[in-house]
Amino acid sequence: MSINNQFRLDGKVAVVTGGGRGIGRGIALAFAECGADVAVIARRQEDLDRVVEEIESKGQNGLAISADVMDFNSIPKALDKVCEEMGHLDIMVNNAGGNLDRKMYSLPEISIEKFDEQLTLNMKTKWWGSQQAAKRMTEGGRIINIISVAAHRASPGFGVYSAANLGMISMTRTFAVELANKKITVNCISPGVILTDMLKETLNLTDKQAHLTFDKTIPLGRIGKPEDCATAAVFFASPGAGWISGQYIDISGGPEGFTLNT
């Protein structure tokens, strides 16, 4: 196989949770550009329909499945539908996560209910998605967990989110060993500050305010885009990453603490 073909996804079927907007949408469209058929799962049907139109405009098959990953009956049903309508399952991206109410909670004040909600959304759903996808991958596969650089940083206001993401690194490594005999690789992508609707809604920022707030704090000089994460997802999903498993990569514009002398 030529080096160019090492990064094609022709003939593959991918699923992206949280695929209606932001990072999930970016990954879904990148997969389609590289030749994969893509099913997107999210709660908002109108967002899904728009993404499927974009997937199909790239010459690939798209499938919109309206489902909530917090409903643990929904993912098995959704993956069964993917296998029935698209033939098989090769790539699973557990992207859905974040904070449902777009609010920050300090650890000294967070309620037990919000603690459980954050842990469930950002770790339990990704464990469940990984387990259920692996059961349906009959000829090897790729599982990619989208987490956050918050996994290895103090994150005031996002302490449970941070802990859940760190837990996903550990879980990903264990999955990588336990699924290796099925030729399934499992890896993490850890985005830094990415300009998405969720970021703007959580911090109550406009696009311009987000740039003014974050561009100067990032070594490479700009806030991230969903496409920055999508390139890493294509890599982990591709034949070129077939001997890489149990790893995570930060997509953050440069390491924390790096400064420029200007």
* Residue pLDDT, tens place only, 212-245: 988 998 999 999 999 999 999 999 999 999 999 9
Average pLDDT of the segment spanning 106-120 = 97
| Mean pLDDT (whole number) for 192-220 | 87
Instruction: Give CA–CA dist 91/184, Å, rounded.
Output: 9
Of 222, 144, 253, 131, residue with least CA distance to 189: 144
CA-to-CA separations, 99 to 29, 119, 161, in angstroms, rounded:
24, 10, 8
What was the pLDDT predicted at 172? 98
What pLDDT, in 10s, does the model give residues 13-46?
999 999 999 999 999 999 999 999 999 999 999 9
pLDDT of residue 137: 98
Q: Which amino acid is at 204?
A: N
Q: Is 248 tagged catalytic?
A: no
**pTM, whole model, 2 decimals?**
0.93
Residue 260 pLDDT class (50, 70, 90 cuts): very low
DSSP per-residue codes, 179-206: TGGGTEEEEEEEE-SB--HHHHHHHT--
Q: What is the pLDDT of residues 174-189, one digit of tens each?
A: 999 999 999 999 999 9
What pLDDT does 255 receive?
A: 81
Whether 259 shows a pLDDT value over 60: the answer reads: no
d(CA 196, CA 173) in angstroms, rounded, equals 28
CB 39 within 8 A of CB 8: no
Mean pLDDT, rounded, of the chain: 94
As a whole number, mean pLDDT of residues 162-174 equals 97
- Catalytic: which of 105, 161, 175, 236? 161
| Domain residue ranges of the chain, discontinuous segments joined by + | 10-194+227-250
For the stretch 90-105, pLDDT in tens is 999 999 999 899 899 9
CATH of 10-194+227-250, one of 3.30.300.20, 3.40.50.410, 3.40.50.300, 3.40.50.720: 3.40.50.720
